[in-house]
Structure formats: structure tokens, C-alpha cells
Amino acid sequence: MLCRRATVLALPTLALPTWAMPMLLAGTGVRAQPAQHRLRAEWAGFRDRFMAPDGRIVDSGNQNVSHTEGQGWAMLAAVRADDRPSFDRLRGWTMRALKRPGDELFSWRFQPRAARPVGDPNNATDGDLFIAWALLEAGERWGRRDCAQQGRAMARDILRLLVGTAGPYTILLPGAQGFRREEHVVVNPSYYAFPAIRALAAAVPDPAWLSVAADGVALLREGRFGRWGLPPDWLLVRRSDGRLGLPADWPPRFSYDAVRVPLYMAWVGLGAEPGLTGPAEFWNDPRHRHLPAWADLTTDGISPYAASHGIADVARLATAHRSGGELGMAPRPASSIATDYYSAALSLLSSLAARDSGMV
């Protein structure tokens, strides 16, 4: 355990103690004018297509539901684009519709056509991480003490309610309920949003953040499956010894969740990690006739259709980080390439990650 963690902590973006992590945030908010103009245009395209007037982000490819992931991603982009009116609408709707009683987290889904739009009170950890990160950045950019206080309160409840153990690992639970089983724990590798974890660790220093980040990297090193060594959408971690496997509750795929693993690793500069290099090799396999949207991790079969533009942007970013080069141009504006929410969101996030990691 100690030897494995020492290796993980040698990674460049995870090497600093938590008290020094604010240094890692320097330069992420203010950009040169041309880059800022591009970001505002990309955000405006996403906002105009997917944000309702009340601040709800609409998942156009999934019965117009809303998720905390979309609210958090949009809130962060609004802060980066210095769009305070949109941020306030996003935050206001999220607070009114999704705030959980009793803690500082948010229910994960809103179904507008349902008799009870919030039928499941459980949270989704990735959405909470991004909402908290956006609140912290809003507090810093606009001097909003209320946002900073809420972001820190969320960070404390993420540590309190969503961090557990399985075998030798400190793990990040996908939600407060439903993922601890009798013999194993289920995690979602794409919920390890390393740039958000880094930001929350800067705001609420605690050694647990370093354990979460370090063991998250370790899980992504060891939890790889199939011909290309890919991270799965969902991962089983046995309680007794930490042995990893594929849970029976979900298809055994590298798919629409797991495509965010290389995105978040690229965001913090982990270009040599297998969680990034495996997907980059998969997407660049010359045997493919099209860019695959997913791979079956037990049969090595791939999707019969091509990946979305958003996945293509993640693939471009991962490929550039694997090779140590630069993107030839900034990712294309989400408004010009995607007609569905998730593809557009991946493009927008890829653009933010490219900027933060110095690729454009």
C-alpha cells in the first residue's frame, strides 16, 4: 500500500500537499483576450441551445431531463466566460429544484414530465463536485462570499458522505446510497473528476482528498479491461481485498460514462497514465473503420456506429496529451457541432480542459 501510493503521489499534479494546492489553480480563471472571446462564444452556443430561461440545462437526447452534471458543467463554464446572469439562473434553479434536505448535496435528476420530477433523492457525486467547484470559482472571480461558503460546505459533505473504503483503497462513492453491497463496492471511474477534486482540496484542506485522488489514479491503473486496457463505465471493488471486476448490474463497456476518464486526466496533465493512453490507443486503432462510441470489455466488440462529435473532441485531446504535442486548434464551438446535450457538453469540457492544461 505505501509503495503503491508513493508511486502515485510522484505524479506531477498530485505531488503537492493539500495546503499548497491553491498554487495549482493559478491562471485557470483569467485568459488572454482571444482565448476568452472563444470561450465566451462556445459557452454562448451551449447556453442558447440547452439552457432554459429559468436556468435548467435540458438533456435533449434523454427526454429533456436534467442532471446535476449538466448544471455543474454549465455553472463552471458560465464562471469562466464571466457570465454572471446565467450563473445566477443556473444556481437558482439548481437550489430550488434539486437541493437535498439535511445536507449540502443535490438530487441527481429532474424529470419534467413526471408527477414527481425529483423521484430519486440520491445524489450523483460528479455533479456535486462540479457544482462545488463552480461555486468556489464564482466566489473567487466575483467576490461572492455566499458562493464560496456554499462551495466549501459542499466539499465538507462530499468528504463526510461520499468517501469510503474497500480493501486497500479509499474510494469515492458514486452516490450516498446504493453502491455499498455486502461483498463489494461499486464505483464509477468517470466520477473521479480530478480537476474538481483538486479545487475542492484547495478550498477545504484535508488529507482525505489526497487519498481519494491517489487511490483514484491507482484504481484507473489497475482497473483496465479488454484488448485495449480500457476503464469501464462501472467498476466493482471487493471489500475484503480490493480485487477489481466488472459488476453485473451494468453492461461491461467503455462507453458514454468512461469517455470522461481520459478527459479529466488530460485536464490535470496526466498524459502518461493508462486511463488516458488506453482510450487514446483505442480511438486511434487503424483497424477501426469509424471512431467507435464504445467497446465491449468482454468481447472486444465495438459500436456499429460512429462516436459523436463530443467524443471525437475528447479523443483529439487525449491523443494530443499522449503524444506530448499540442492541439492544432481549439476544440470546435459546441454550438456548431452537436445537436444533443451530451455531445455538446463533452466538446465544451474538452475546450476548458485544453485551456487549463496548456494545450491551446
Catalytic residues: 69, 126
- The C-alpha cell 482565448 sits at 35
- Residue 158: count of CB within 10 angstroms of its CB: 28
- 314: DSSP letter: H
Maximal CA-CA distance, the chain: 54
Dist. CA 222–CA 73, nearest whole Å:
28
Q: Number of helices and strands (H, E) in the chain?
A: 13, 9
Residue 110: in which H helix or E strand, if any?
strand 109-110
In the sheet with 244-245, reading across from the earlier edge strand, the strands are 184-187, 235-238, 244-245
Do 256 and 293 meet the contact criterion of CB atoms below 8 Å apart?
Answer: yes
Q: 311 Cβ partners below 8 Å, 6+ apart? A: 259, 291, 293, 343, 346
Residue 188: which of 138, 241, 123 has the closest Cα?
123
Q: 30 Cβ partners below 8 Å, 6+ apart? A: none
Q: Which amino acid is at 347?
A: S
Phi, psi (deg, nearest 5) at residue 351? -65, -45
